[in-house]
Amino acid sequence: MNLNSLQNDRAAGVLVTLAAGDALGAGYEFGPALPDSAPVSMKGGGPFGFAPAEWTDDTSMAIVIAESLLEAAGDGRGLDEPTKGAMAQSWSEWARAAKDVGVQTSSVLGRARQAAATGGRSSITAADAYAASEQVHLSSGRSGGNGSLMRTAPLALAFLGAEPAALRDAAVEVSALTHFDPEAGEACALWCLVIRHAVLTGELDIRVGLELLPEDRAVLWAGRIEAAEVKFPRDFTRNGWVVEAFQAAWSAITTTAGAASGPAHLRAALEAAVRGGNDTDTVAAIAGGLLGAAYGYTAVPFEWRRKLHGWPGYTARDLQRLALQLARGKGRTEGSWPDLPVFDNSAYISPTRTEVAEHPLDSGVLLGGAPALSRTDYDAVVSLSRVGTAETHVDPADHASFWLLDEAGADSNAHLEYVLQEAAAAVALFRSEGKRVLLHCVRMESRTPTVAAIYGALMTGMTPEEALDKVREVLPNARPNHGFRQALRRLSLEDQ
């Protein structure tokens, strides 16, 4: 599907924010509800000993869905039986060494493996998984855990261009691979439909999918949604159940909406989800998939994205890549951004132009264009333009990449002032760690001097406009576009 720049940002935000919520909640899992003032961080630990900023089974299982759908799209297929079987088999392989696998999911996968072995097969089929899912339900009398809702977000990306009813059906089918209870399928369908709507429109409309449920079920879910909007996440103490996990996630989003918007709302809502207690990582992951769809990759704080990681050795950038490929619907797109070694800027600047300038207010910051990435005299990078996967020599945790177009239109860049300030803060963070920083865009004429000015103001107490005058002393060709200049003016007025 062809998406505009803001829709691409929101699509990329789905998996990254899901994982951020997951990692944020990992260290608090199964703990009590926390006071509203309690700080929340990606501290790691928890009952399963996750590392700081490491995601859990929620994101890992979502990655399997995304990868399986990408493979199918590349073969010209959709959510067919082989694709669903591939999901079940990949979950089974992942679960053998995973730190944490939900009790219900583990039981279903174990039964499915037994069925495959009995049939003389090395791989689980979709039929094996469905049969095992039903058997677990019949033997226990319940299968309405939150384990399918936590992983469901990738389906919304894969079905952006499809009819909503097709997405509803797909969500129900994938849920049932491990969760036989129809309520789990309904929750997944509703959540996927609102994620799809949010990516396409930027709106948070939880009721958008109710019309696709039978009337009696729609009435029931409408009541549950209304209850979530007048309660707080801590009120849903049984959030291991899919219904209360759904309600707790929506409550975290709605109860923080009045006090914050955009990136501030994303952060406040995920922290509220964690403070609700009990199954904190899952509730925050569920909420994160939707918040990322509404506000985008650019709304996720760099401090969260910086060291975000998890199975199968992915980082935030890998999740960004995966989400964009999934949303485009063409399978794996090696050779196109963001999955290419070097981003070709030759149409905009000579590839031999590698000169840089030292920031006039901090000689430890180099200001350059894209060709400066080939240098080796820096320890950290702040990229304001698209880069390839093999263009820098630094550790991924020392590469801050921001989604910023050199365009002045109001609809060109989401959360412009926030992103500019986040980029400047990333420079400051790296400098506080003693690193020499390369701050670059393509031609160091618009984006680079704008962020350099904000960083200069941050370090000296100047206004951003005053700092820009200093930057122009070393970058005489600096010409921030009109939209960036307006942002600098607004920030300068705030400083006065």
Query: Which domains are seen in the chain, by residue range?
Result: 5-328 (1.10.4080.10), 357-495 (3.90.190.10)
| Segment 225-239 mean pLDDT | 98
Give yes or no for a contact between 63 and 314, defined as CB atoms under 8 angstroms apart.
Answer: yes
Query: Which residue in 362, 274, 369, 355 sits closest to 29, CA to CA?
Result: 274
Helix (H) or strand (E) holding 245: helix 242-254
Query: Which residue in 29, 43, 60, 101 sits closest to 307, CA to CA?
Result: 43
Query: Which residue in 310, 331, 312, 313 sits closest to 322, CA to CA?
Result: 331
CA distance 289 to 192: 9
Average pLDDT, the chain: 95
Q: Over the stretch 416-425, which tens digit does the pLDDT of each residue have? A: 999 999 999 9
| Segment 433-438 mean pLDDT | 98
pLDDT score, position 244: 98
pLDDT score, position 495: 66
334 has a pLDDT exceeding 80: no
CA distance 484 to 481: 5
377 has a pLDDT exceeding 70: yes
Q: Over the stretch 94-122, which tens digit does the pLDDT of each residue have? A: 999 999 999 999 999 999 999 999 999 99
Assign 332 a pLDDT band (cuts: 50, 70, 90).
confident
Q: Between 51 and 343, where is the model more confident?
A: 51
Assign 353 a pLDDT band (cuts: 50, 70, 90).
low
Give the distance between the most distant pair of CA atoms in the chain: 75
Assign 409 a pLDDT band (cuts: 50, 70, 90).
confident
Q: 444: number of CA atoms within 13 Å, CB side? A: 27
Over the Cα atoms of the chain, what is R_g? 23
pLDDT score, position 337: 74
pLDDT score, position 354: 59
| Segment 484-494 mean pLDDT | 93
Helix 126-140 × helix 81-95 angle, to 10°: 60
